[in-house]
């Protein structure tokens, strides 16, 4: 008898802590055109509060949801949603589709308007796989999670596909976001959103207490069928990696928009192996990639087929590393109060690209390292001595281009150039300022001069004049 009671107790505990739920058990039915919202909500309401591991299994087909469905959270709970190619279809655009909720006197309600501490009490992790969302406002939302995974899902026709608020270490992979009305993917803090006008999500949210840090977006496809949208957006969140992703369709306002909100804890982000391909009016695109207030940004292997708009607009950033850029974009790069730019191993650029004023943003950008791979136009290395020195002593000039191995050493003062060499046979075609600290720690401005031979003046044809 004792053994049977012990077995029953274990079975009850297992039931509480490892549950499997299906909406069909609560009255839902795919492909019948009827509202399944109530069945879904009853299913989620039936989950025991202290369940540590919950599995939701959907059927292949379309579930019609005519109102928002709230899934419950519990601290350190893992919720697994297996879609089996199910579709959650919203019939309108004025309500969210599937978002987290919390029990209160009025039943289940959104976490919006609660405190950050309240959200932390239910810090869970969610995995959702193979679900298609159609319509609605925010189609799927994470709030106060860690190590959550969204994979092999499709988000079609909503205002916003994915919304991660205080979603630490979120992994979004192998997803397709299509025909969205506002922005495809958003990772953010619980602050108010100046761009959309939304208020604070948490009552006491700041840029450093509710961030979606250390998150990745990879192997995704973001497609807009109308101009003026934003493909991927993040704010007040650090160490975000966006990689191996295609962003295409109608010209977006920004393919990627990353704003630290000047938070001191947002230190770096990585954007790499991105294909951007828009078709339409260039006036609909402000810049392909907008970055604001991030200390260190790596932009690696970005391929753009919309090259006549600003490729990167950096504002209030500290260091930007642009590497393996496939070709020189005619739209150039734009900076506002940003620090050092490193350009390295960028190929297939025409000889005059590096010398054009638009490439240097008309002198605004203090470029640091620039050279082509294989057939290099020039290479600029930094140093502390005055004047120009090269291994060959000829200032690296070879014909009308600067040779691969030339090094232009920075000068503390433009007048120092005349002390180093006689410049009568050369002209400075570009002077690049670079601000740094000297040996005593004082801030001084150095310059990188780029030279080319002066063209020889042509002599008048005296013979022809005399014959006339």
Instruction: Give 311-359 pLDDT, tens digit per residue.
Output: 889 888 888 888 877 765 667 778 787 767 776 666 544 444 544 444 4
- pLDDT of 13 above 50: no
Among 276, 279, 282, 320, smallest CA distance to 302 is for 276
Which among 286, 306, 333 is the end of a domain?
A: 286
Which among 252, 286, 320 is the end of a domain?
A: 286
Lowest mean per-residue pLDDT among 104-108, 167-171, 197-201, 301-305: 104-108
Are 88 and 235 within one domain? yes
Lowest mean per-residue pLDDT among 183-197, 239-253, 333-347, 411-425: 411-425
Are 122 and 268 within one domain? yes
In a domain, 346, yes or no: no
Helix (H, G, I), strand (E, B) or coil at 52: coil
In a domain, 64, yes or no: yes
Q: Are 230 and 183 in contact (CB under 8 A)?
A: yes
- The Cα–Cα gap between 291 and 196 comes to 17
Residue 341: the pLDDT is 72
Mean of per-residue pLDDT scores for the chain: 77
Are 393 and 271 within one domain? no
Top pLDDT among 31 and 193 is at 31
Average pLDDT estimate for 164-179:
97
Q: Are 150 and 172 in contact (CB under 8 A)?
A: yes
- pLDDT of 184 above 60: yes
In a domain, 102, yes or no: yes
Tokens of 259: 């704003």
Tokens of 329: 């974009």
Residue 346: the pLDDT is 62
Half-sphere exposure of 167 (CA within 13 A, CB side): 28
Residue 385: the pLDDT is 25
| pLDDT tens, position by position, 404-454 | 333 333 323 334 333 444 456 666 655 555 555 555 666 655 555 555 567
Are 249 and 135 within one domain? yes
Q: Phi then psi for 434, rounded to 5 degrees?
A: -145, 120
Identify the domain containing residue 237 by its residue range: 16-286
Top pLDDT among 425 and 15 is at 425
Are 281 and 403 within one domain? no
In a domain, 320, yes or no: no
Domain count across the chain: 2
- The Cα–Cα gap between 196 and 222 comes to 20
Are 27 and 175 within one domain? yes
- pLDDT of 8 above 90: no
Residue 206: the pLDDT is 86
**Strand 367-369, strand 340-344: pairing:** parallel
In a domain, 415, yes or no: yes
Are 264 and 384 within one domain? no
Residue 45: the pLDDT is 92
The CATH number that applies at residue 34 is: 2.160.20.10
Are 46 and 152 within one domain? yes
In a domain, 10, yes or no: no
Are 274 and 383 within one domain? no
Which among 257, 286, 315 is the end of a domain?
A: 286
Residue 83: the pLDDT is 97
Buried b (16+ CB within 10 A) or exposed e, 410-426: bbeeeeebeebeeeeeb
Residue 380: the pLDDT is 35
In a domain, 307, yes or no: no
Top pLDDT among 417 and 196 is at 196
Residue 105: the pLDDT is 54
Are 248 and 384 within one domain? no
Top pLDDT among 365 and 317 is at 317
Residue 238: the pLDDT is 93
Average pLDDT estimate for 33-55:
93
| pLDDT tens, position by position, 258-305 | 999 877 788 899 999 999 999 999 999 999 999 999 989 999 999 888
In a domain, 296, yes or no: no
Helix (H, G, I), strand (E, B) or coil at 236: coil
Residues 6+ apart with CB under 8 A from 12: none
Are 382 and 268 within one domain? no
| pLDDT tens, position by position, 91-137 | 988 999 999 997 565 566 788 888 999 888 889 999 999 999 999 99
Are 245 and 385 within one domain? no
């Amino acid at each position: 008898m004792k053994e049977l009671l012990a077995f029953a107790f274990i079975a009850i505990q297992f039931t509480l802590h490892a549950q499997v739920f299906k909406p069909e058990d609560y009255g839902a039915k795919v492909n019948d055109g009827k509202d399944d919202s109530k069945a879904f909500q009853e299913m989620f309401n039936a989950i025991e509060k202290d369940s540590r591991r919950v599995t939701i299994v959907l059927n292949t087909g379309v579930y019609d949801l005519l109102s928002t469905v709230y899934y419950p959270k519990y601290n350190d709970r893992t919720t697994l949603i297996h879609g089996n190619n199910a579709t959650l279809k919203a019939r309108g655009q004025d309500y969210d589709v599937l978002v987290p909720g919390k029990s209160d006197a009025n039943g289940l309600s959104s976490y919006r308007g609660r405190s950050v501490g309240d959200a932390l009490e239910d810090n869970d992790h969610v995995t959702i796989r193979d679900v298609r969302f159609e319509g609605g406002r925010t189609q799927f939302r994470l709030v106060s999670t860690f190590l959550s995974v969204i994979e092999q899902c499709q988000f079609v026709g909503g205002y916003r596909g994915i919304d991660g608020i205080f979603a630490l270490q979120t992994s979004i992979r192998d997803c397709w976001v299509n025909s969205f009305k506002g922005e495809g993917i958003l990772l953010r803090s619980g602050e108010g959103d100046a761009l959309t006008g939304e208020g604070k999500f948490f009552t006491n949210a700041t840029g450093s207490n509710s961030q979606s840090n250390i998150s990745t977006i990879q192997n995704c496809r973001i497609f807009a069928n109308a101009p003026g949208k934003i493909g991927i957006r993040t704010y007040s969140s650090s160490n975000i990696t966006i990689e191996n992703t295609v962003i295409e369709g109608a010209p977006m306002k920004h393919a990627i928009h990353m704003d630290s909100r000047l938070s001191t804890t947002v230190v770096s982000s990585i954007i790499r192996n991105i294909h951007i391909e828009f078709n339409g009016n260039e006036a609909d695109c402000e810049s392909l990639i907008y970055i604001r207030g991030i200390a260190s940004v790596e932009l690696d292997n970005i391929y753009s087929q919309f090259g006549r708009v600003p490729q990167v607009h950096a504002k209030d950033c500290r260091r930007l590393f642009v590497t393996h850029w496939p070709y020189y974009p005619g739209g150039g790069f734009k900076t506002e109060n940003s620090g050092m730019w490193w350009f390295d191993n960028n190929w297939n650029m025409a000889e005059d690209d590096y010398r054009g004023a638009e490439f240097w943003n008309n002198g605004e950008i203090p470029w640091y390292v620039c050279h082509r791979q294989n057939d290099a136009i020039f290479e600029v290395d930094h140093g502390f001595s005055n004047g120009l020195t090269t291994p060959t002593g000829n200032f690296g000039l070879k014909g009308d281009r600067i040779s691969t191995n030339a090094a232009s050493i920075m000068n503390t003062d433009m007048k120092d150039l005349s002390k180093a060499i006689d410049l009568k046979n050369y002209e400075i075609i570009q002077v690049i300022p670079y601000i740094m600290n000297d040996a005593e720690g004082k801030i001084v401005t150095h310059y990188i001069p780029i030279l080319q031979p002066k063209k020889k003046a042509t002599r008048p044809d005296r013979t022809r004049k005399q014959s006339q």
